[in-house]
Chains A and B, each alone.
Chain A
Amino acid sequence: MFEATELNIRNDRIQERFRYLFLAMAVVLIVPVLVILSLLVIKGGPVLSWSFLTEFPKNGMTEGGIYPALLGTIFLVLVALLFSVPLGVAAAIYLSEYAKDNWLTRVINLAIINLAGVPSIVHALFGVGAFVIFFGFGTSILSASLTLAIMTLPVVIVATREALQSVPHAFREACWSLGATKWQTIRKVVLPNAVSGILTGVILEVSRTAGETAPIMFTGAVFFVPFLPESVFDQTMALSLHLYTLSTQVTDVPENLPYGVALLLILIVLAMNALSIGFRTYLRNKKKW
């Protein structure tokens, strides 16, 4: 009784084989991450130093630090957030809390999906046409940040909408049944309980924005400016573009220098992601529902 037949044994063996096949595929994922990171650390690690972070580049980029590029990236990201967060959160609130399933909602959802799928170089060309030329902002931080903002808008909207939707419906009902308007319900019940998810989305957006090159290279970021930007109408350097030009346009660059820039860029992104994960874990442990 209950002994395995030939067929059972063969099926078991096949299923084992598939298990290992899938495991191998999953493990393959780790390899590029490890290779990239170790290469960057080995080659770029020695370059990183305090003066690398705080000094201007010298000798046609071949020496010195990357201070203006670092600062420029931070500037670009902050100004982009200034536009994309209020807009994205407001749109997500509309879609999650107010919108009924009608043609307008479907059009908006379609627009978000398409916006998320537009290649970044197309965003760049749009940025040139719209912000640099049509609105006359010129190649400036403002133009570049607006382009970045539009590109990352879908991320903010989707993350915010998910965060809002994860707030239990029972809280909303309880609030309505006490005579609250929709807006009172959103402000007093939904948003306070969704804020952790929204912030997680924003931080992820930051990490994506910081690394983008194409959308900023025509709209506001330049290879070299000898001074720091003073307003949003100035041009600026940026880490991602700096890396691109160092590796492709400049001759006689010490081999380690681009790796140093790349390492710094990836460290910023990883730090942002870690912050986001840590933050989410902290808030998730705090809330009990």
Chain B
Amino acid sequence: MTDSPMTPGGETRRSNSDVEMAIRTRELNLWYGDFQALYDVDFDVRRGQITALIGPSGCGKSTLLRSINRINERLGYVRTEGTIEVLGKNILDENVSMPQLRKEVGMVFQRPNPFPLSIRDNVLFGYRLHEAKATRRSSVNRRQEDEIVEQALREVLMWDEFKDKLDANSIELSLEAQQKLCIARLLPIKPAVLLMDEPCSALDPEATAAVEELLFRLRGDYTILIVTHNMAQARRVSDESAFMLMGKMVEHSRTDEMFVTPKFKETANYIEGRYG
């Protein structure tokens, strides 16, 4: 993704570094077979901020999230129309390489899913995927890997507790540590965007608080788009919120505005818990 083509609006080329919007979708329509899950979604996600996607079950928020790293295409019967720009480049273009896209757009899942490997191997998993084989296995590389592991674990606030247990099997960690590890695993490949699909729904309140603290830490360095069912969480962690209903983007504004003075009745009703 070195340069970006002309956008439909006729804007000129922009370099990746100064786009204000990390993600921009325009007239995004998506079908699972015959079922249309997204209708004309226009959605902008500001760089370096935390944006929450909220809405009742089946409203399309996870679908929208999963189309940004194109992981939902694995289902095989998904059809997408419109554009999704990530850092100014339409990722639905023919010449987009999936490994490169997913390097730039990391994903954290609902249930923590570390690999059944050691903590160290989990952190290095993505890094090793994108590293040519020849440069591996040297002692220089071993030192470099040690540094990567330390840096990533420090960033997710796990280093002090786990620096002596790097060989422990990740499956045996607490869910909180597993989810943090899943975030740590993304960092060595230096993504710009982190997609989080209800990352706290499997966690207890204390672990949720720890992960939210981590989100605040990562804010600024990463653009974070988080799907959540938890209104209070959206309110606590996000700068902006987007409310979806029946596959449509209903309202998108600053979180403090949306939760105090929602523009639409549907939004107000949902936030107040009248349905959903």
Q: Which residues of A contact B (CB under 8 A)?
A: 100, 168, 170-171, 173-181, 184, 188-189, 193, 287-289
Contact = CB atoms under 8 A, between A and B. Distances in A.
Interface in B89-131: 98-103, 106-107, 109, 111, 113-116, 125-126, 129-130
B210 to A, nearest CB: 20
Closest 8 CB pairs of A and B: A179-B102, A178-B126, A170-B113, A177-B107, A179-B99, A288-B171, A174-B113, A179-B103
Contact of A170 (B69, B98, B99, B109): B109
B182 to A, nearest CB: 7
B27 to A, nearest CB: 26
A288 B172 contact: yes
B106 A177 contact: yes
Contacts of B143: none
A178 B189 contact: yes
23 contacts: A100-B76, A170-B109, A171-B116, A173-B109, A174-B114, A175-B115, A175-B125, A176-B74, A176-B102, A177-B69, A177-B102, A178-B106, A178-B129, A178-B185, A178-B189, A179-B99, A179-B102, A179-B130, A188-B125, A188-B129, A287-B116, A289-B116, A289-B171
Nearest to A172: B74
A171 B115 contact: yes
A188 B102 CA distance: 17
Contact of B111 (A100, A170, A175, A179): A170
Contacts of B76: 100
Given A170-B111, A171-B115, A176 B100 contact: no
Nearest to B101: A179
Given A173-B109, A289-B116, 4 more contacts: A170-B109, A175-B125, A178-B103, A288-B116
B71 interface: yes
Contact of B113 (A173, A181, A184): A173
A283 to B, nearest CB: 12
The A interface, classified by DSSP as helix, strand, loop or mixed, is: helix
A287 B116 CA distance: 8
A148 to B, nearest CB: 35
**Among A171, A176, A181, A289: residue with most chain B CB under 10 A:** A176
B253 interface: no
A193 B117 CA distance: 10
Contacts of B171: 287-289
**Among A179, A181, A188, A287: residue with most chain B CB under 10 A:** A179
B129 A180 contact: yes
**Among B98, B99, B113: residue with most chain A CB under 10 A:** B113
**Among A171, A174, A175, A189: residue with most chain B CB under 10 A:** A174
B115 A179 contact: no
A193 B189 CA distance: 24
Given A173-B109, A174-B182, A179 B116 contact: no
Contacts of A178: 102-103, 106, 125-126, 129, 185-186, 189
B71 A177 contact: yes
A177 B107 CA distance: 6
A175 B109 CA distance: 12
B169 interface: yes
Nearest to B130: A179
Nearest to A287: B116
A288 B116 CA distance: 8
A203 to B, nearest CB: 23
A2 to B, nearest CB: 42
Given A100-B76, A173-B113, A179 B129 contact: yes
Interface in B156-183: 169, 171-172, 182
Given A100-B76, A179-B98, A179-B99, A174 B106 contact: no
A124 to B, nearest CB: 41
Contacts of A289: 116, 171
A179 B74 CA distance: 13
B172 to A, nearest CB: 6
A171 B111 CA distance: 11
B169 A288 contact: yes
B99 A181 contact: yes
A100 B125 CA distance: 28
A186 to B, nearest CB: 13
Contacts of B130: 179
A180 B127 CA distance: 10
Contact of B115 (A174, A177, A181, A184): A174
A168 B116 CA distance: 11
A173 B189 CA distance: 17
Contacts of A174: 109, 113-115, 182
A99 to B, nearest CB: 10
